[in-house]
Amino acid sequence: MRLRRPVIAGNWKMHHGPTATREFFEAFLAAVPEREERSVLVFPPAPSMAAAAATVSGRSDVLIGAQHVHWEEHGAFTGEISTSIAADSGARAALVGHSERRQLFGETDAETGRKVRSCLSAGLVPVLCVGETLDEREAGAASSIVRRQLEAALGSLRPDELANVLIAYEPVWAIGTGRTASPADAADMHGDIRAFLVDHVGQTIAMGMPILYGGSVKPGNAADLLAASDVDGVLVGGASLDPANFAAICSAAG
């Protein structure tokens, strides 16, 4: 028996409006039997969240999340959505610190910390994305970069708060490039992340927390990545857009 329940997550980025979302879930739910042993999390664009949540409402193993949230509860922040608005739209989780938000939209380490706190107070599971660029990896700085991102976003949480966070390791050079970290490289970094968790929440809780890998996960490599030590789930971009591909990745989790 696996120690940690696998989490298969799909980040649709800027794809699939409400109509395409309903079509996706009709095909996906028909292809993927309900299973308590793993969780499926899908992050559609914000205007598709309510349609997604309504379509999956009969399935306890499939949850919807927000790709992006603001940390303030409400206010004059044109274009933003708060964690409570996301929750009211059917979200149960939210991505925080995705590398596209960091690189293209200037999301800072300090902001990831505020967003994580706001998610926790709204009852959303924050899915904190961390990962190094190719330059940082080649300079031998991958571990220290990831450590800095973890400390900035999570370092001040109480252990009972941190226990509700999911962490996804997504090396920036593997996202949308077709290049994946080898299972051994993923296992190394996941081991470092587990060590961070042990330091902050203690051995028993840390050993129960799933850590996800993301970056060019496909039906053909998902099983090998999921078999790597400390890799307990995957965060899938491109391959989560097609119901058959995403269903195949879910079956790789057992």
- Active-site positions? 98, 170
For ligand PGA, which residue of 32, 235, 252, 253 counts as binding (CB under 6 A)? 235
| Interacting span for ligand PGA (CB under 6 A) from 62-70, 198-206, 214-222, 225-233 | 214-222
User: Binding to ligand PGA by residue 233, rule CB under 6 A?
Assistant: no
Please name which of 71, 122, 124 lies closest in space to residue 94, comparing C-alpha atoms: 124
User: Binding to ligand PGA by residue 10, rule CB under 6 A?
Assistant: no
Which stretch of DSSP H or E encloses residue 66? Answer: strand 62-66
Task: Identify which of residues 154 and 249 has a Cβ nearer to ligand PGA in the complex.
Answer: 249
Least Å distance, CB 92 to ligand PGA, is 18
Site string for ligand PGA, 125-154 (x = CB under 6 A): ------------------------------
**Which DSSP string do the residues of 178-237 spell out, in sequence order?**
S----HHHHHHHHHHHHHHHHHHH-HHHHTTS-EEEESS--TTTHHHHHHSTT--EEEES
For ligand PGA, which residue of 8, 11, 127, 162 counts as binding (CB under 6 A)? 11
Task: Identify which of residues 97 and 215 has a Cβ nearer to ligand PGA in the complex.
Answer: 215
User: Binding to ligand PGA by residue 186, rule CB under 6 A?
Assistant: no
3-state secondary structure of 116: helix
For ligand PGA, which residue of 44, 90, 97, 214 counts as binding (CB under 6 A)? 214
User: Binding to ligand PGA by residue 215, rule CB under 6 A?
Assistant: yes
CA–CA dist 1, 79 (Å, integer): 45
Structure tokens at 172: 């920036």
Residue count of the chain:
254
| Interacting span for ligand PGA (CB under 6 A) from 66-74, 142-150, 185-193, 235-243 | 235-243
Residue 70: what are its φ and ψ, rounded to 5°? Answer: -100, 160
Tell me if 254 sits within 8 A of 8, measured CB to CB.
Answer: no
Which stretch of DSSP H or E encloses residue 3? Answer: none
Residues making contact with ligand PGA (CB under 6 A): 11, 170, 175-176, 214-217, 235-239
